[in-house]
Chains A and B, each alone.
Chain A
């Protein structure tokens, strides 16, 4: 709460020269983050203190050459999942002053889509199954529909008077032979 009070003071005191306030959590300025990977329990304790965490909660990333040093592993929590009515120092970011951020913090700011939503009514695997099921069904039906056609068979329309040859603008002097569109079945009894 002290921090919030400080921040409010600063906000109120608009015209006085800006007061430099440091965090109660870790000394700022001269410490460069992250420090080297902690090897001994004492170093771990010091690092945990630096990040304002309990030693039991503190768990650095594995030292596999990424250069993340002693930076702690934090929970993946999107800003949308934080309390919107909470008493944050920066309510628009839902963040407190001097708070330790996740190493991939740019994935969890409010401007990014929230893909890490906790507590879904329908779990993500089930959602993917439903989506995949619908799409697979549609694809199968599409392949089947390409294979088995359905249509009303139609032919070109037939007209009397030699398919309206003269009416359609044909030359009346050179009438071609009448096309035979149909034949009558011949009876075998005659």
Chain B
């Protein structure tokens, strides 16, 4: 819901590690060299994994985040389907209700499809009404708690 989130220390460390490895992957295109550097990076993280002093751990994390900020890649690799990627949001299928808005002339071009569709819609509506009616009766009989009214 809200965009502001509070992260725990462990979450921050995990995110720092993941981002560092990803940016390192962007810096080093050659796979074997990257694997070596990633192992070294993992060792640096593992060095402090048993740190119990919270104050010291926070300092180390702070230093790590600053180091990441300095060494980040100006053009990191983005997966194609995630935000900013090259295939993000491409060809999202049109929602199905668009067909409800078609003009009768357009609908007349696909008579079988729309005949069946009208039938399905009517069935779905009937089923919905039936469910609502059942629920209402259950509430009246006291088997279900009454619904809170939606704010007007």
Residues of chain A touching chain B, judged by Cβ–Cβ distance below 8 Å, are: 1, 3-4, 6, 13-16, 19, 21-22, 24, 82-87, 96, 121
Q: A16 to chain B: which residues have CB within 8 Å?
A: 125, 128
Name B151's contact: one of A4, A22, A86 (CB within 8 Å): A22
B151 to chain A, nearest CB (A): 5
Please give the distance in Å from A14's CB to the nearest CB on chain B. Answer: 6
Classify the secondary structure of B's interface with A. loop
Residues in chain B near residue A19, CB distance under 8 A: 150
| Residues of B76-128 contacting chain A, CB below 8 A | 82-84, 97, 121, 124-125, 128
B26 interface residue, CB < 8 Å from A? no
A16-B128, A84-B83 known; A96-B1 Cβ under 8 A: yes
**When A and B form their complex, which 4 residue pairs have the shortest distance between CB atoms, in order from nearest?**
A84-B83, A83-B3, A15-B125, A22-B151
How far, in whole Å, are A77 and B128 apart by their CA atoms in the complex?
A: 42
The smallest beta-carbon distance between A128 and chain B, in angstroms, is: 17
Q: How many A-B residue pairs have CB under 8 A?
A: 31
Query: Interface 1/0s, chain B 123-136, versus A by CB < 8 A?
Result: 01100100000000
Number of B interface residues in the complex (CB < 8 A):
17
Q: How far is the CB of A186 from chain B (nearest CB, A)?
A: 72
Q: A24-B151, A84-B83, A85-B83 are in contact. Are A121 and B125 (CB under 8 A)?
A: no
**Nearest-Cβ distance from residue A52 to partner chain B, whole angstroms:** 12
Q: Taking CB as reference atom, which chain B residue is nearest A119?
A: B69
Write out the residue numbers on chain B whose beta carbons fall within 8 Å of the beta carbon of A96.
1
With contact pairs A15-B121, A15-B125, A85-B83 given, residues A1 and B150 touching in the complex (Cβ less than 8 Å): no
Q: How far is the CA of A58 from the CA of B101 in the complex (A)?
A: 43
Chain A residues with Cβ below 8 Å from B83 are 84-85
- Say if the beta carbon of B145 comes within 8 Å of chain A: no
**Distance in angstroms between the alpha carbons of A93 and B106 in the assembled complex:** 31
| B32 part of interface (Cβ distance < 8 Å) | no
**Docked pose: A121 CA to B84 CA in angstroms:** 18
Q: Which of A13, A14, A16, A96 has the most CB of B within 10 A?
A: A14
